[in-house]
Structure 1
C-alpha cells in the first residue's frame, strides 16, 4: 500500500555521486527491479558508472567535456578536475598541501558535472525500451523523483543543505512535475540494497590452496542474524551493524517479494578510506622513483609529478581493479609504460626498463594493505562496541559493497581475517556491489510508496537537538553551573533558569521512534486576541556527557526558529486559568496559559520540529538533514562570537504531566 497516490508512470531516479565514479539507477513503482544507466558519452562499451570528472579549457569556466568523454589531446592550460566531492565540506582536510581551489570553485564543479549528468539521464531514460511507451511528451511535465544520497562523513547538516542547493542549481527539480529528495546516507542506501537483494548475495570462496577451516553454517541471511555491512568506495568507507528483525513478504502483481526488515544496533562509522587513497599512495611512490633517476625531458611540460599522475590515472587503474586475480605473474611481462620516458630508457637500480616501470606483487600489495588494515580497525571497533549491547549479539555475516569492496584481493583479505575460526562469519558480496547505493535509493523509495515505511527501522544521531526554555527553580538552591542564568519572572516573581536547553535527542542516541515530544506551558494576558511566539531549536556536536546546558554555553547554537500563532475560538478552547499570587505592589494583568507540544519528527535522514496545540499543527520547521552516523573523534570547541538571546518570559517552561506518564514522551 502506498503512502500517497502517485502516477504509475512516475520515474524514480537514484543518483550516487561518488568521489571517483557516479552511478544512476531508475525505476517506476511497478517495475520488478531498478535499471541502470550504463551507456555514456565517450564510451562505446557498457559501463555501470561514469567517472566523476570534468575537463576545462584555459580561461573558460564552461567544461568542454565530462565523464568518459576525454578530449583527444590535452592542450597547454587545459585542466582536469576530479575527486572534488569531499571538498564541499569545509571541515575536510585534503592529504595534499597544494590547495589551488576555493569553495566557490568546488560548487562550480559540482554544478557543471551534475548539469551534464542530468541532461544525459533525461536522454537515456527517454530512449529506454522499458519506458518508451510511458515517457511521452515534454520531460518537464512527466512525473519524476530524483533521489540523492550523501556521504556519512558529512556530519555538518549545513553541508547537506549546501549540496541540496547545488542539486537545485543544476536543474534537478526544475520541471513542473519533478521533485528532489536528499534523505539517505550512502551507508543507509547500501544497507537497503542488501536487505532487498539478500537472496542474490554470494559467498566469498576460499582462496585456492588455502587450508580449509571452520566457516559459518549458513550463507543466506535469516531472521535473527546480525550483519555487518562494509561499504568501501572510492573516497569513503562506512561500517554499520544491523539485526535482521524479520523477513517480510509482500505480494506484488501476484508474486511474493521478500525483504529483510533491519534494526540498527550501533552507530554508522564513516571515514575517508577508499581506493582514492590507494591511487594517491601509488602516485607518491612513482613520483619519488622518478625524482631519483637522471632524466631530463626535452618537453618542458614533463615532470616526475605529471608522469606519475598520468600513470596513476591510466594503466594503474587496470592493475588496481584486477589485483587479486591471477595476474601477479604478468606484472613483469606487462609492465606499464611511463608517460614521457623514451622506450630506450633503462635504469635497473630504480626499477625502469625500456621506458617502463617494473612493479612487483609487494609493490601493489602494500598499497591495498594500508587501507585494508584501517578498514579492519573500523570493523574491530564496531565489533567491540556491540559486545556491550544487552542482550548480547554476535555478527554472523559480513556483507561487502562499494567499488573497493568489489576488489577480489579485498574480499580475500576479509575471508582470511573474519571467515575462519570459532567466530567465523559468512563473507558475502552484494550483486553488482558498486551499484549498491544508487539501487538502494530507488528500492527504499519504492518500498516506502508501496508499504508506508522504510526498510531501516532505527537510526543514531551524530548531533544533539533540543528546545530553548525557561525552567523554574524549585527550592532555595540554584543547581550547579546555572548561577549566571538565573532571573526573576515578571509574572510571578519566581526564580527561573533562562534560556536553558531541554535536549530531545542526544548525540549517539539510537532512535527507534517516529517522533519524540515534550509539553510546555505558555502564558498570555486574557485581553490578547491571539498568541504568537517563537520556539528556538538548539543544536550541539559535543558528546552527550558534555552537552551545554544553556544556549550561551559551549558550542550550543540555534539551528532554526519556529514561529507559531493561535487565535480566535481555537485559542479560547485551550486556554486555562493561571493562579496568580500578589507578590508586588503593582497591579498585574490577568493571565491565562496554553499547554502545547513540541515534536521532533524523524524520517530516513532528516527531521522536522512541529509545534502542536491540541490536534492541530500551529508551527513547523524546515527539514533538518541529519547524518545518522558515529564518529570516534570528539568535535573541537568552535570559536564563535557570543550571541545574546533575550528572555521570552511568556515561555513558562515544562508543563506538568501525570506521574505515571513517561517524560519525555516517546511515541511510536
Structure 2
C-alpha cells in the first residue's frame, strides 16, 4: 500500500459543497472541534436556510447579475436570462439542450455559480482563521450514476471556480485537496453516524435529490468504536428527481390554460411554479389530498375567471387527485421501480432502507416507498437532517474516514508498454516492437487497474510498473504520457480492441524529480535512456488520483487531462 501524504500542520478545514441540480448548500468542519457546521445565512433571506436555489441570472452581455435566492426572485429585465438545472449539463446522458447566455458554454455557467458560492462562503468562514496555519480541503458529492469522465469534468470546473488553488510554488499536491465522492457515499457516512447498525447488517441509501435518484447498498463490516461502511457491488441512478415534478406541473398548467394564453407567458409559468415548489411540492400527501383543492394565484388579473379551466377569482385551482395522477405519480412510480430493481439486483438481504435528499421530505414519496417495501425491509427510515445528509456526510468524510472499500461501476485500464509474452506474439503480432534486443507489446496493450464491480480497499493504490524512453537528441523531455480507458465489458481486457473501451483521460507525469532520471540525464548517451518507475492509483468511487513512485517513495503527482 502506498503511504498517505502526511497531514499538514495547523488547522485543517474540510469544506463540503453540495452542488445540486435544484438547490445547493455548504457545510464545513475543522480539525479543531470535529463538528460539521452548515452555512445557513445566505444573501436574499433574513431567515436561516440550509440550501439555496442553484440559479444564476445574466444580463444581455453575459455578466452575472444575481445568484442563489436573489437570482430566483429577481425580476428579469429585457435581454436578461435566468439559468437553472445547469448541473445536469455535465452529464452526457442528459439530453435537454440548455438555454445559455451570450458567449457562455455549459461549463462556464457552472464555474460562475461555484465562484459566486465560494466567494461568499470564503467571507463567512476564513475570517475566523489565520491563513498561514489553515489547510483547506474541498469535498464535492456527485450523483452515484455519474461515470469517471463526468466526475473528472466537474473537478476541472471546480478548479476553474477557485475551490482548489495552489498557495505557493512548494504546494505540489494542491489538486489532491479536492475530493469527489458519490452522494450516496456521503449520505451513508452521515446516516451511519446517527443510526445503530449491527456488524454485517446491510442498508440501502436512496438519495432522492432534485435531478437524480441515486441508490447504493452498504455493509457494516465490523464493530469498532468508529463506524465503518463498505459498499456492496451495485450502484444505480435515474433521472426522476423532484425537478421533474416541476416539469410535469408546468405541462399540467399549460394543458389546463391552453385557451388562456395570457397566463402562459414565462413570467406567469414561473410564478405558478414558484408557488408549487415552495409549498405543495414537498408537502403533498397523496390520496388523502385527493378531494382537496390547491390554489395557485395568477400573476395577471385579466382573463382570470373561467371555472371550466379552474380559473376563479384570480387563482388557478387544481384538484388534489389531478395533481397526484398528472404530476406526482409519474415521478414517484419511477422512484419506486428504481429502488425495487436495485434491491432485487443486489441479491442481498436488506436490513434497512434510508431515504435522504431534498425530495425525501415529501410525505407521499415516503408513504409509497413504505407501502412497497415494508414487508421485505425491516426498517425504512428518514434520518434526521436527511435533506442535507450528503452535504454533512461529505464534510464528515474528511474528519473521519469511514468507507473501508469502494466498488467501481466500470473497469479502468491503462495503456502500457510491456515485454511481449507468447500470447501477445500469437494474438497480436503486429503490436510487437523490438528495442535493445527486447520484444515489447505496445500501442493497444492495456493493463487492468480496476475491475468492474470488484471491491477495492479504501486507500489501496494499484501500482503499475512503467518505463519511459528519453531521447538524447535536442532538449531532454521528462514528460511521460499514457491513456486511461474505462470499459463496461465484464471480461478482463488485454487489448483495447477486445471490447468497447472509452478514452477517459490523458495521464501525464513529470519524471525529472526521479533520482534515476537525474543521474542518466547528466550522462551523454547517443541512444538515449530508459527510466523505470511506478504509477500508483488511488481509485475512489467517483474519481481517480495518481502518484509517481520509485522504490516506495513518492516523487510527484499524476495529472489527468480529459480526452475529447
Taking structure 2 as the reference length, the TM-score comes to 0.83
> Structure 1, residues 253-309: CA drift from partner, whole Å, max 9, x if none?
xxxxxx421111122212222000111011011112211x2x464xxxx63554333
The answer to whether the 8 A contact 2:111-2:158 is kept is yes
| Shift of residue 609, structure 1, vs aligned partner | 4.2
Q: 1:307 to 1:418 in 2, by over 3 A?
A: same
* Conserved 8 A contact 2:100-2:106: no
- For the structure 1 residues 59 and 18, does the alpha-carbon distance in structure 2 shift closer, same or farther, using more than 3 Å as the test? same
Change in 2 beyond 3 A, CA 1:611/1:163: closer
Could you report, residue by residue, the CA deviation over 1:432-471 in whole angstroms, capped at 9, with x for unpaired residues? 11111111111110114xxxxx434222242422242245
| Residues 67/175 of structure 1: CA separation in 2 closer, same or farther (3 Å cut) | farther
SS of the aligned residue for 2:462 comes to: strand
1:515 corresponds to:
461
50-59 vs 71-80, which moves further:
71-80
Residues 320-469 of structure 1: matches in 2 within 5 Å?
A: 320-324=281-285, 328=289, 331-332=292-293, 335-342=295-302, 345-348=305-308, 350-366=309-325, 367-387=327-347, 393-420=348-375, 423-448=376-401, 454-469=402-417
Matches within 5 A, 1:234-633: 234-249=210-225, 259-291=226-258, 293=259, 295=260, 297=262, 303=264, 306-324=267-285, 328=289, 331-332=292-293, 335-342=295-302, 345-348=305-308, 350-366=309-325, 367-387=327-347, 393-420=348-375, 423-448=376-401, 454-474=402-422, 478-479=426-427, 482=428, 485-487=430-432, 489=434, 491-492=436-437, 499-512=444-457, 514-519=460-465, 534=480, 536-545=482-491, 547=493, 549-550=495-496, 554-555=500-501, 557=503, 559-562=506-509, 564=511, 597-603=534-540, 605-610=542-547, 612-617=549-554, 620-622=557-559
Task: Check conservation: 2:143, 2:182, Cα contact below 8 A.
Answer: yes
- Number of residue pairs the alignment of both structures matches: 542
Q: Which residue of 1 aligns with 2:203?
A: 227
Q: Please, which runs of 5 or more residues in structure 2 have no aligned partner?
A: 521-525
* Higher alpha-carbon deviation: 25-34 or 423-432: 25-34
The equivalent residue for 1:145 is 137
Q: Residue 358 of structure 1: SS of its match in structure 2?
A: strand
Q: Distance in 2 between matches of 1:102 and 1:76?
A: 14
51, 54, 57: which one aligns with 2:53: 51
| Residue-by-residue CA offset, 1:615-647 (whole Å, 9 max, x unaligned) | 44567522689xxxxxxxxxxxx9x9xxxxxxx
Using structure 1 for the length normalisation, give the TM-score: 0.71
Question: Is the radius of gyration larger for structure 1 or structure 2?
Answer: 1
Report the RMSD for the aligned CA atoms in angstroms. 4.0
Whose helix proportion is higher, 1 or 2? 2
Structure 2 CA distance for partners of 1:331 and 1:601, relative to 1, 3 Å: same
Distance 2:98 2:24 in 1: 25
Secondary structure at 2:364 match in 1: helix
Q: Give the Cα–Cα distance (whole angstroms) in 2 for the partners of residues 533 and 329 of structure 1.
A: 67
Q: Within 2, Cα distance between the matches of 1:326 and 1:610?
A: 56
Residue aligned with 1:443, SS: helix
Point out where structure 1 has 5 or more consecutive residues left out of the alignment: 128-134, 199-219, 250-258, 388-392, 449-453, 573-588, 626-637, 641-668
Instruction: Give the secondary-structure state (helix, strand or coil) at the position aligned to 2:426.
Output: coil
